[in-house]
Amino acid sequence: MINKTVLAYSGGLDTSIILKWLQDQYDCEVVTFTADLGQQEEIEPAREKAAGLGVAEIFIEDLREEFARDYIFPMFRANAVYEGEYLLGTSIARPLIAKRLVEIAESTRADAISHGATGKGNDQVRFELNAYALNPNIKIIAPWREWELSSRDSLIAYAHQHGLPVDDRFSHSMDANLLHISYEGGELEDPWVTPGESIWRWTVSVKDAPDKPEIIELNFEHGDPVAINAESFTPGAMMERLNELGARHGIGRTDLVENRYVGMKSRGCYETPGGTILLKAHRAIESITLDREVAHLKDDLMPRYAKLIYNGYWFSPERRLMQEMIDQSQMYVTGLVKLELYKGNVTVLGRRSDNSLYDETIATFEDDGGAYQQRDAEGFIKLNALRMRVAASKGRRQSTD
């Protein structure tokens, strides 16, 4: 028996219909939760819409700082990229939303939580895995897996039938937050179709980007960005400022086909201006502050870490364990990176740190004053070649074809 449920509510088409459907189908009280994650849209209208549908308990929360500090920044310490291209903008927002859904359910004594993720997508998995990790007994209502509304057209028909205040003018499914904005559906479902310039909301076209490059300096402390051009920012404000800089120069557009956790391939377009700058800068400061084997170990583990986030395992014990190791590696990742932003590109111009492991006296092509004995390399090479020399002496020569 469901008497009260907490709905992740945006005020858009899907969740407005879900709100009404929950009231009718379950005859239950609905609590709405709307999160400001930096989507750059007014969220207060969601309060009006929810109240107009009879909702008494309405939660609208500004989670931008928590999102950047506790989710985006830890992920970027790992340099996480899914399938070589996707910077996980939607994926990393879901555990925070799931966390607040569970917490609000507990505080309002609700019996269940509900979300608007479809039965074809990744988000249903992300919301529910993370919710169960925090409350193993939570009940979850996923209307897309229960109702007979199988398309956008049927949703719009339902909305008109029940007099719901929704905007039926849509062409794409969009999701936005401090890290990115994504576009799916419509003509994008054909991976051959080139997205029109009109779909991009944040970034200017490279063709229209300034003809003059912009130089910025990004300060890091223990792996996290803390200042731009010596001006300090909170985590949320840092992401907003990096987004502004990147968007102005046409940085961060991506068009990709990814492998969803549920098994299908999906085409999506993404704008991640600030994240693209941050990833480039973070790897630059790591290049002079991380030990070689630590850096290589991080790179080995990164695809698995990224897959955990993509698939919805943020609160899993394995992700937490990996995070402890990653965070430990960032102890000396402090310093300054100089970057050029120009026509869709982010170029590293320089990096420096008091914790740098780069030793110019050893690396120099000039006279190193005996800091490095070049003759030592002969023994190093012979020892590393020993197993291959033994195999070759036994006739196991490798083909050169």
Choosing from 64, 77, 94, 126, the catalytic residue is 94
Distance of CA 375 to the CA centre of its chain: 48
Torsion, Cα 272 35 13 44, to 10 degrees, reads -110
Sequence-distant (≥ 6) Cβ neighbours of residue 341 within 8 angstroms: 213, 214, 215, 216, 245, 246, 248, 249, 251, 277
| Amino acid symbol at 289 | T
The single residue listed with the structure tokens 């029109």 is: 196
Choosing from 10, 16, 91, 173, the catalytic residue is 173
Choosing from 123, 182, 266, 319, the catalytic residue is 123
| Amino acid symbol at 339 | L
| Amino acid symbol at 32 | T
DSSP at 86:
B
Half-sphere exposure of 244 (CA within 13 A, CB side): 10
- List Cα–Cα distances, 53 to 17, 255, 330, in angstroms: 10, 38, 48
109 is an active site residue: no
- List Cα–Cα distances, 280 to 32, 203, 248, in angstroms: 38, 18, 17
- List Cα–Cα distances, 333 to 70, 72, 236, 282, 326, in angstroms: 18, 17, 20, 9, 11
27 is an active site residue: no
123 is an active site residue: yes
CA distance 286 to 326: 12
DSSP 199-228: G-SSSPPGGGS-SS-EEEEEEEETTEEEEE
Question: What are the start-end ranges of the E strands in 289-390?
Answer: 335-342, 345-352
- List Cα–Cα distances, 170 to 187, 198, 220, 270, 298, in angstroms: 12, 13, 41, 18, 41
Backbone angles phi, psi at 45, to 5 degrees: -55, -25
173 is an active site residue: yes
3-class SS at 179?
coil
Residues belonging to the active site:
14, 94, 123, 173
